[in-house]
Chains A and B, each alone.
Chain A
Amino acid sequence: MTAPATTPQTESKQPTLIDMLRNIITSQEGVLFIIMVIAVLFLATRTDKFLTVDNLLNQGRLLTEVGLVAVPMTFIIITGGIDLSVGSIFGLTAIVLGIAWQDMGMALPVAIVFAILVGTFAGFMNGWFIVKVGVPPLIMTLATLALYRGLAQGLSEGASVRGYPDWFYELGQGEFLGVPSQLWLLLIAVIIAGILLSRTTLGRTLYAIGNNEVAARFSGLQVNRYLLFIYTFSGFMSALAGYIFVSRVSTTRSDMGTGLELDVIAAVVLGGSSIFGGTGSIPGTIIGVVLIQLLKNGLSLTGVTGDATIVVIGSVLIFAILVNTFIQGRKAA
């Protein structure tokens, strides 16, 4: 990774290549990636159970839900917005899935689609109020954080739905080509979202909104349409993650996804998205998600207890952001 940058002989012939490499390494994602590599190497020296294919694939299974929700959250944070209701939509979807199947007598595949539709609609409601009524995203989604969770609890009446047929668990607990099934979904979502954000009008518009929403409007961009889309998309991905989670843990409870929003926002912000909008990327977010999961796992394997682990993760979050601010600041100067 660092080798080419320090090799002097290519300097005179291809200065542009070095510049490119330096740009990559000193970019937000590059710095973060190096921090991740250091963390992984350090953890690997502490225990031989960490850097194994089985363990890493297993961690992939566990981080999928956060990863899926982090994708639309990156979009939203880039526009300067926030969605705090993702965990509640996640829980609501889980409950609706269980109830639609067990109490309303829908066939399970129909119930799955229905539940994801309800979750998507919940996201659409967020977007609609934010765009049409002008409620600030923080306030709107804080309200629906409580509202959707309340709905989930009311619907479930405190009971959980269990006893799904075996095929239902394939997505959450099964494997496809040796890799946990849900990881494929995450991979597809990440590739599509990455292209959307960096190569299309949609992506450029989101950055434009984040940098200056008023200017974006006066430039003739369909700001409202895009905002409505990303909040609806967030509802959809939260719902999908909720469905995968139910499949993984084989039961439905109304408290599922509690606190998910914080895990997701932490990963997105760690990944270099500014909470004020305008910056951020999908690769950064994914490195953020992976770094947090590997730290949790690796520290636990080296015998660090749960309460100490969250302290370390908090410190790494601050450290990574400080290092990045420092490096980006020097680059700008």
Chain B
Amino acid sequence: MSKKTFLLMTVLVLMLALFIAPAGAQDEDRWDGADDLDVNPLACPMMDGEEEMAEEDMADEEMMEMPEYDGGVAVDAPDLAGQDIVLVDVPKLIGIGYFAATTQGMQEAAEELGNVTVTTDGPTEANIDDQIQFIDNYITQDVDGILFAANDPVAIAPILRRALEEGIHVVGYDANSEPDAREWFVNQAEFNGIAKAMIDSLASEMGEDASFGIVTSTFTTPNQARWIAEMWAYAGECYPDMTWLETVEAQEDATLSFNQATTLINKYGEDLDGLFGMTSVATPASADAVTQAGLCGEVAVIGLATPNPMKPYVNDGCVQNVVLWNPIDLGYAAVYVMRAIVDGELQPGDASVMAGRLGELMVVNGSEILLGLPYVFTAEDINDFDF
């Protein structure tokens, strides 16, 4: 019995050690919430006369970063150029507005093309194992192509590789997998693009010398940290007079976000011109805080958010710009990209692809296709979207 007790104590101590270890490791005190990775700010908004130079810059940039194609290849895929193809779309989950919108875009593209059938099917919860099983079953069914939005970039990779091995084309959108597990990925927005849209929106609403605070999830959340780093770099380059007051953490919790935004409003008072919400929870919560403080128009709220929760604030004029991308276009582009692969019109090394009404989309980062600049929802069009 005492031997048993000893063993249990050991396990208990080891478990305790687990909690202490990571706690000691994160003593860094980052006040701005940005990460340490390289930043790549986009060119400032073009003024008259500067146009030529700016374009030259962009050309340089493109020449510089055209990395090798790092996607995978469908092995011995049957040649179905111009023929009818059957596609399946497996999003992270079904039954939410966001993926209903991507599905809508896919159906629009399929209708336009006429020779594509696409079915959306997926788990009802964003569960990695369920998603893998769906893809597995569709491989057994022998579809011609798989479109996916990964719940986890690594977990989904083995099953996608198997699809490629069986000659099934694979294209990702919204959430990527490891690059070699799919052929192309339709990237809805690059970090620097989002950063530029956010900062430009603030400049146009409150002027180029605005002071602002940020409500983010946590300083270590990868996407948010990346956006903030890019915003920092872009603002520093294009709007040197802007003042960065403070970044606060609010998890992805509505109540906490509201409290944190209220704290910023009270702390900086008159000095505060704008609030950025970095998550789809923080943005509506910040808008709510500004509304309740009676500061609509004096403190701008700009953020990443889906349209539905933002509609009340946009419709009553408290929020002017909601930054995101258009998920309908995202789904639409994914189907066009798939068709282009099957038809042999998009091959490794190509620099762009034609995508119906969206025109020519650029290839970035080797095997990603950039949907374009972020989409800014305003009072004029936000009511046309339902997600």
Contacts and interface: CB of A to CB of B under 8 A. Distances in A.
Contacts of A307: 94-95, 124
Nearest to A298: B137
A163 to B, nearest CB: 8
Interface string B5-24: 00010011011011101100
B11 A118 contact: yes
A103 B128 contact: no
Nearest to B218: A158
A249 B132 contact: yes
B22 A300 contact: no
A305 interface: yes
Contacts of B122: 306
Given A96-B18, A155-B19, A297-B137, 14 more contacts: A49-B141, A99-B22, A104-B21, A118-B11, A158-B220, A251-B154, A256-B129, A259-B127, A300-B137, A300-B138, A300-B141, A306-B121, A306-B122, A307-B94
Interface string A251-293: 1010110110000000000000000000000000000000000
6 contacts: A62-B133, A104-B18, A117-B11, A121-B15, A258-B125, A310-B124
Contact of B94 (A173, A301, A306): A306
Interface in B106-132: 119, 121-125, 127-130, 132
B154 A157 contact: no
A178 to B, nearest CB: 17
B152 A251 contact: yes
Name the residue in B8, B133, B157 with the highest tally of chain A Cβ atoms < 10 Å from its Cβ.
B133
A253 B140 contact: no
Given A124-B8, A249-B129, A62 B18 contact: no
Nearest to A114: B14
Contacts of A104: 17-18, 21
B136 A250 contact: no
A118 B94 contact: no
B92 to A, nearest CB: 12
Contact of B124 (A96, A114, A154, A306): A306
Contacts of A121: 8, 11-12, 15
Interface of B: 8, 11-12, 14-15, 17-19, 21-22, 25, 94-95, 119, 121-125, 127-130, 132-134, 136-138, 140-142, 152, 154-155, 157-158, 218, 220-221
Interface string A37-80: 00000000001010000010010001000000000000000000
B128 A249 contact: yes
Contacts of A258: 125, 127
Nearest to B157: A250
A245 B124 CA distance: 20
A243 B134 CA distance: 22
B140 A249 contact: no
A39 to B, nearest CB: 16
A193 to B, nearest CB: 23
Contacts of B218: 158
Interface of A: 47, 49, 55, 58, 62, 96, 99-100, 103-104, 114, 117-118, 121, 124, 154-155, 157-160, 162, 173, 245, 249-251, 253, 255-256, 258-259, 296-297, 300-301, 303, 305-307, 310
Contacts of B22: 99, 103, 155, 157
Name the residue in A55, A157, A159 with the highest tally of chain B Cβ atoms < 10 Å from its Cβ.
A157
A263 to B, nearest CB: 10
B155 A250 contact: yes
Nearest to A310: B124
A23 B17 CA distance: 55
A29 B298 CA distance: 71
B297 to A, nearest CB: 36
Contacts of A296: 133
Contacts of A58: 136, 140
Contacts of A96: 18
A-B pairs, top 4 by smallest CB distance, nearest first, are: A251-B154, A249-B155, A300-B137, A305-B121
Contacts of A251: 152, 154-155
Contacts of A250: 154-155, 157-158
B142 A49 contact: yes
Name the residue in A49, A155, A158, A251 with the highest tally of chain B Cβ atoms < 10 Å from its Cβ.
A251
Contacts of B152: 160, 249, 251, 253
Contact of B129 (A245, A297, A300, A305): A245
A173 to B, nearest CB: 6
A306 B123 contact: yes
B134 A300 contact: yes
Contacts of B133: 62, 296-297, 300
Nearest to B10: A117
Nearest to A50: B140
Contact of A173 (B128, B130, B158): B158
Nearest to B14: A114
A165 to B, nearest CB: 14
A301 B140 CA distance: 7
Contacts of B134: 300, 306
